[in-house]
Amino acid sequence: MARRLRPVRLDFLDSAPLRLVFDTEVTAPPSAVYRALAEDVADSPSWFTAIAAARSTAGGAGREIRLRGGVVFQERVMATDPGERYAYRVEETNAPGVRALVEEWLLTPARHGTGTRVRWTLAAEGPAPFRLVMRLARSGVGRSFRAAMRNLDGRVASPPAQ
């Protein structure tokens, strides 16, 4: 059964009791990465394998994300800066323990040459057992993120063959 989470603002990204931050570089340009994150939501499972299904809701102002294993997130988009930033908070979920959750994707030009530096931040609040589980899961979440970025890069880095 879904529970309503505490409605936090974007400043929660800096003040959350738990922050997981991951970053990597991809060869795809920021515009292509942003399009995959913010506009082609339904295609997310093809590159982020932890996601079983995804769809935009409320005319693009929200998202519904279903993870493998049955966790569902109803999200509200909070920031859309094309090619630079995409952020959302979870409004409702069936995930145990979490009280508030915001995710932010920052896209900047890669340090060396072309491409994009992708930084994904998960900011969360929950009781001590939830925070402990999330900290223990950090390395697995990081591996999942890096694999997703490799998959995404393979899909969008080069133009389709003609």
Give the pLDDT confidence of 106-124 residue by residue, as tens digits. Answer: 999 998 778 999 999 999 9
Q: Which two tokens stand for residue 79?
A: 């920031």
Give the pLDDT confidence of 66-117 residue by residue, as tens digits. Answer: 999 999 999 999 999 999 999 999 999 999 999 999 999 999 999 877 899 9
Q: Which of 24, 5, 1 is nearest to 130 (CA)?
A: 5
Q: Which of 39, 100, 73, 122 is nearest to 65 (CA)?
A: 73
* Residue 136 burial (CB count, 10 A): 9
Residue 162 is predicted with a pLDDT of 52
Residue 14 parent element (H or E):
helix 12-15
Q: Which of 86, 84, 106, 76 is nearest to 38 (CA)?
A: 86
Give the pLDDT confidence of 140-153 residue by residue, as tens digits. Answer: 999 999 999 999 99
This model's pTM is above 0.75: yes
Residue 160 is predicted with a pLDDT of 54
> What's the CA angle centered on 41, arms 33 and 105, to 5 degrees?
45
Contacts of 26 (CB under 8 A, 6+ apart): 33, 110, 115, 116, 118, 149, 150, 152, 153, 157
Give the pLDDT confidence of 19-66 residue by residue, as tens digits. Answer: 999 999 999 999 999 999 999 999 999 999 999 999 999 999 999 999
Residue 75 is predicted with a pLDDT of 98
Q: Which two tokens stand for residue 65?
A: 């994300």
Residue 1 is predicted with a pLDDT of 67
